[in-house]
Amino acid sequence: MIRVLLADDQELMRRGLRKLLEIEDGIEVVGEAADGWEALAAVPRCAPDVVLVDARMPRMDGVELTARLAAEHPRVAALMLSTFEEDAYIFGALRAGARGYLLKDCSPEELIAGIRKAYEGETVLDGPVATRLVAELRGWPRGSASPFRGQERLSSRELEVARMIAVGATNREIAARLFITEGTAKNHVSSMLRKLGLRDRTQLALHLSGS
């Protein structure tokens, strides 16, 4: 059973989401919150697996709530559900640790699938959001990582991950930009450490910078 907490300042939206989710097998709505503070306070009591987070809420917005959840309740998956397509919300949420970003005009089937994917640790992106991320990824400087010793041992995917590590990207950011899971990103990092004979991520970053 996937336990879901609804965080949205519009009561009508919360009621609609609750009715939609309550008829789904394997999903249980365990609580509601009208703002980020209420949601954060409800987590210990409701023990959700997934929090559906609205981007704009009073007192604490969705991006800040997502960051607090990632820091204080890392096992809880934050899934943004918003009417806004602005880059500040999309990239802010993903950098803060959101498992994904869906728009409120998505279909019920897309929402249900998104909740299940977020619960399983997958990255969830709406079509327009994915398009923006692809554009952002194409804009990354491909020469960010200078030639470094041992790069011929790495796969093309590992070299992509290396370029992002060189400019300070986290595993979550790497996963979002390459459309892979955070676990896969971690596996790529572990593989690079093994191939290059390095101990940890800090040594890897220094190695990539030529220090």
pTM: 0.65
**Of 18, 25, 86, 78, nearest to 51 (Cα)?**
78
Q: How confident is the model over 65-101, as pLDDT tens digits?
A: 999 999 999 999 999 998 887 777 888 888 888 888 9
**Of 139, 141, 56, 127, nearest to 93 (Cα)?**
56
**Structure letter (DSSP) for residue 26:** T
Q: How confident is the model over 114-172, as pLDDT tens digits?
A: 999 999 988 888 777 766 665 665 555 444 445 788 888 888 888 888 888 877 788 88
Task: Look at phi and psi of residue 158 and say left if phi exceeds 0, alpha if psi is from -120 to 50, else beta.
Answer: alpha
